[in-house]
Amino acid sequence: MLAIKKDNVEKRKYTVNILPCLINHDGPFTTSKRYWNPVDQPDGLSVAFFRGKKLHGKRLQLPERYRKVVLSKTDKSMPKKILAFAENTTQTEDEHVVEDEENDPIVKIVEEQSEFDDIMIWGHEILPDETTDPFVRGIQEWIDFSALLHSYDDDVNDLESTSSINCCSVGS
């Protein structure tokens, strides 16, 4: 399990870029207009050059009701006292819980680094295809599946008619 550590400092918003290449670096770096300067086109698409390769990008809008953050892993774990307090506040007096420390999950802490509103998906020489690009499909299917999981029975018919996935039937 993961717990998100959020500080009270106002976060700058960024654009998340998914590039069609492997970069052996994980973390922040300083950029300059010389190496990364995407240009927005009048048709709503973007063009950029990365290491001499022309990239075409499309902005993938995410639902407003979602909170979109960039997280970084830490080696920290949630203290057991906080976990026990959180579990006890949700129990009634009639419930008796046998504590077994060996079965208690280890809750790792991830830190919130920044926020974002949308994701820019880039393709070599052409736009990423929404039906075949694994990132676009994966994100869209996750959003659709999440909507089904968090819907009520009354909303299921509406979701099934507007959802782009039909992998399972929902209902009674």
Q: Which of 112, 127, 142 is the last residue of a domain?
A: 127
Side chain identity, residue 15: T
Query: How do strand 108-124 and strand 53-61 relate by DSSP bridges?
Result: antiparallel
**Bridge-partner residues for 114, per DSSP?**
70
The reply to whether 13 and 74 lie within a common domain is yes
- Are residue 95 and residue 138 in the same domain, yes or no? no
Angle at which helices 134-149 and 153-162 pack, to 10 degrees?
A: 160
- Count of structural domains, the chain: 2
pLDDT reported for residue 92? 53
| CB count in 10 Å sphere of residue 57 | 24
Look at residue 7 in the predicted model and tell me its pLDDT: 80
| Segments forming the whole domain that contains residue 97 | 2-127
SS3 of residue 49 by DSSP: strand
**How far is 113 from 69, CA to CA, in rounded Å?**
7
Whether 20 and 104 map to the same domain: the answer is yes
Per-residue pLDDT, 41 = 93
Strand pairing category for 53-61 and 39-40: unpaired
**Nearest by Cα to 35 from 21, 19, 51, 55:** 51
Cβ proximity of 144 and 163 under 8 Å:
yes
CA dist 118 and 11 (Å) reads: 15
The pLDDT profile of the chain, 172 residues, written as one tens digit per residue, is 888 888 877 778 888 999 988 888 877 777 778 788 999 999 989 999 988 899 999 998 888 888 899 888 899 988 876 555 556 555 555 455 555 556 778 899 999 988 999 999 999 999 998 888 898 899 999 999 988 988 876 655 555 555 554 444 444 3
Helices (H) and strands (E) in the chain, counts: 3, 7
Residue 32 per-residue DSSP state: -
Residues 113, 35 share a domain: yes
Are 87 and 139 members of one domain? no
